[in-house]
Amino acid sequence: MSGRVYLVGAGPGEPGLLTARALELIAAADVILYDRLIGASALAGARAEAELLFVGKQGGGASVPQEQTEALMIEYARAGKAVVRLKGGDPFVFGRGGEEALALRAAGIDYEVVPGVTAGVAAPAYAGIPVTHRGLASAVALVTGHTRAESVADQPDLDWVGLAGFPGTLVFYMGVRSLPQIAGGLIAAGRDAREPAAVVQAGTLPTQRTVTGTLGTIAESARREGIGSPSIAVVGAVAALAGQLSWLPERTLAGRTVAVTRARAQVSWLAGRLGELGAHVIQAPVIRIEPRPAEPLDPSPYDLICLTSANGAAALFERLAAGGRDARALAGARVAAIGPGTAGALAERGIVADVISERFVAEGLVQALARVPVRHALVARASEARDVLPEALRARDAVVDVLALYDTVAEPVPSPVLAQARAADYITFTSSSTVRFFLEAVREADGRAATPGAGLSPHTRIVSIGPVTSETLRAHGLNPQVEAARHDVEGLIAAILADAAREE
């Protein structure tokens, strides 16, 4: 893949609509240039060492010039990097992918185009609107609605007479601010003001909203409901089907934003589940897992091997493989795991844990091991971890070796993402390290000045995965309003749902 650029469509926002090819390229890329219209979990599969650069354009705000984006693609490709230009929707449907392809061709850079699901089809579908339907619409026109013109007469790019007479569905992209001009232009050119129309905001995303009406009323209805971008406007008889064909289930967390601070490699399931429940997920990973060099491990001296995290389970098997060993090498030892997540990571590698703590903290595993005989134990864990488990085993006269398998290090958080996380309805912390590194990111953003309450919005509720993380939060002056009863990500989600229900 080196020295090549991939113009990849990320689809309309729902992570499940990413193509298999898109996921494959994201996982292999050295550099990813991404914009704001990609799904919340689209970057979760990127390699930890991949360079992620935001080159998006915020409506009405700052933007990265197109020429700069093209220059970056060329620069990284010439440096031998595999570059993914990740774009919302489809690169060649109002995505300026054609311009980027021409720039790459002129520079002599190899490229590949990976189509994506375009929002003009997906957003209406998620609102129950088929853009074509036998007997109602046998054609569909995709139109850019982006214009700053005060009058439709000042927008020469659109053939209003041709659009008004088009025998099918009209789908307008990027037109929510221009909706009065669009509707007025079509009506003035002869389109029936009574024709059904709809606007779908954030189509396929948890925050999706749909407003229906007629061509004559839709602009005012959208304004009254506070519809903003990104939105798709649909004009045509098919828009009337929205009420009959609506299929999305009610989303419990609809309208709420949840910031997730855990490592990018671990966030996909949590972000996906929150999205299914209707939350807008802000991925603000403040930590990164860096495995230590995989030196060979001989587990034969141990009669007990303790794993404290899923990361540790993965790294342990890398150590076994480095010595030419596999799961069979653990046959002579009992294997203990903190929580079902760690046990699940072991099961994926053919090991059924002999002991699983009911409480997902070190104290829980100490209790679970109380009646398990032990002479020589291996505790495999992160380099920075509490010594509760090793000390408890040593108190039983066991020989204990602690093996640091990986380091938890800071992951830089882009300023706009950090600002969104600090303003979220919920911000989640899944370990003490996420607390410490989040506060470090805040200090960096605020010029090392102490910020009361970490600069969180007054309405932001702090969610902790368990008592140890809560203790760390309090030690740093933050009070968790929500704490998971079950100390894993499923428990975290359950706690948020319960809190949201109480707030209702």
Q: Which CATH number goes with the domain that contains 451?
A: 3.40.50.10090
Q: Could you tell me which of 310, 260, 266, 268 has the C-alpha nearest to residue 492? A: 260
Same domain, 25 and 90: yes
Residue 145 belongs to a domain: yes
Residue 250 belongs to a domain: no
| Burial state string for 336-351 with b = 16 or more CB within 10 A and e = fewer than 16 | bbbbbbbbebbeeeeb
Same domain, 421 and 277: yes
Q: CA 74, CA 81: separation in Å to the nearest integer?
A: 10
CATH of the domain at 85: 3.40.1010.10
Q: Report CA 492 to chain centroid distance, whole Å.
A: 17
> What residues does 382 pair with on adjacent strands?
406
Residue 251 belongs to a domain: no
Residue 151 belongs to a domain: yes
DSSP-assigned letter for residue 137 = B
Q: CA 172, CA 284: separation in Å to the nearest integer?
A: 32
Cα Rg of the chain (Å, integer): 26
Would the pTM of this model clear 0.75, i.e. be above it?
no
Going by C-beta distance under 8 Å and a sequence separation of 6 or more, which residues neighbour residue 176?
A: 145, 199, 201, 222, 227, 228, 229, 230, 231, 233
- Annotation marks residue 35 as catalytic: yes
Residue 220 belongs to a domain: yes
Same domain, 262 and 298: no
And the tokens for 350? 């053919």
pLDDT in the model for residue 150: 47
- Helix/strand/coil for 17: helix
Same domain, 282 and 305: no
Contact at 8 Å (CB) between 128 and 241? yes
Which residue of the set 35, 90, 425, 488 is catalytic? 35
Q: Report CA 497 to chain centroid distance, whole Å.
A: 19
Going by C-beta distance under 8 Å and a sequence separation of 6 or more, which residues neighbour residue 419?
A: none
Q: CA 232, CA 198: separation in Å to the nearest integer?
A: 8
Same domain, 304 and 438: no
Q: CA 267, CA 188: separation in Å to the nearest integer?
A: 50
Pairing outcome for strands 169-173 and 110-114: unpaired
Q: Report CA 414 to chain centroid distance, whole Å.
A: 14
Going by C-beta distance under 8 Å and a sequence separation of 6 or more, which residues neighbour residue 196?
A: 212, 213, 214, 215, 235, 236, 237, 238, 239, 240
Same domain, 132 and 112: no
Query: Domain range holding 39?
Result: 4-116
pLDDT in the model for residue 385: 83
Sole residue written with tokens 């025998």: 167
Instruction: Count how many domains the chain has.
Output: 4
User: Considering 66, 83, 116, which residue would you say is the last residue of a domain?
Assistant: 116
Q: In what order do the strands lie in the sheet with 355-356?
A: 287-291, 399-410, 376-382, 304-307, 334-337, 355-356
Contact at 8 Å (CB) between 145 and 172? yes
Same domain, 16 and 101: yes
CATH of the domain at 216: 3.30.950.10
Same domain, 47 and 182: no
Residue 252 belongs to a domain: no
pLDDT per residue of the chain (504 residues) written in tens, 0 to 9:
569 999 999 999 888 899 999 999 999 999 999 987 775 568 878 887 899 998 876 554 557 899 999 999 999 999 999 999 999 999 999 999 999 999 999 999 999 999 999 999 999 999 999 999 999 999 999 999 875 544 444 555 689 999 999 999 999 998 888 999 999 999 999 999 999 999 999 998 877 899 999 999 999 999 999 999 899 999 999 999 999 999 988 788 988 999 999 887 777 778 888 888 888 888 899 998 888 888 899 999 999 999 988 889 989 999 999 999 999 999 999 999 998 888 988 999 999 999 999 777 888 899 999 999 999 999 999 888 889 999 999 999 999 999 999 998 988 888 888 999 999 999 999 999 999 999 999 998 887 666 678 889 999 999 999 998 999 999 999 999 999 998 888 899 999 999 999 877
Same domain, 152 and 48: no
DSSP 450-462: --GGGG--TTPEE
Pairing outcome for strands 169-173 and 231-235: antiparallel
Which residue of the set 57, 354, 407, 499 is catalytic? 57
Same domain, 427 and 488: yes
Contact at 8 Å (CB) between 386 and 442? no
- Annotation marks residue 87 as catalytic: no
Taking phi over 0 as left and psi of -120 to 50 as alpha, with beta for the rest, 219 belongs to alpha
- Identify the burial level of 295 via C-beta atoms within 10 angstroms of its C-beta, where 0-12 means exposed, 13-18 middle and 19 or more buried: exposed
User: Considering 116, 142, 167, which residue would you say is the last residue of a domain?
Assistant: 116
User: Considering 409, 433, 468, which residue would you say is the last residue of a domain?
Assistant: 409
Q: Could you tell me which of 199, 179, 174, 227 has the C-alpha nearest to residue 36? A: 174
Going by C-beta distance under 8 Å and a sequence separation of 6 or more, which residues neighbour residue 8?
A: 21, 22, 25, 26, 84, 85, 86, 87, 91, 114, 116
And the tokens for 268? 């996909």
Please give the angle made by the CA atoms of 488, 491 and 492, to the nearest 5 degrees: 85
- Helix/strand/coil for 385: coil
pLDDT in the model for residue 119: 95
Total residue length of the chain: 504
Contact at 8 Å (CB) between 294 and 417? no
Pairing outcome for strands 399-410 and 287-291: antiparallel
Same domain, 485 and 378: no
Residue 234 belongs to a domain: yes
Same domain, 134 and 239: yes
Going by C-beta distance under 8 Å and a sequence separation of 6 or more, which residues neighbour residue 341?
A: 309, 310, 360, 488, 489
Q: CA 284, CA 411: separation in Å to the nearest integer?
A: 9
Residue 334 belongs to a domain: yes
- Identify the burial level of 472 via C-beta atoms within 10 angstroms of its C-beta, where 0-12 means exposed, 13-18 middle and 19 or more buried: buried
Q: CA 415, CA 330: separation in Å to the nearest integer?
A: 45
Contact at 8 Å (CB) between 5 and 104? yes
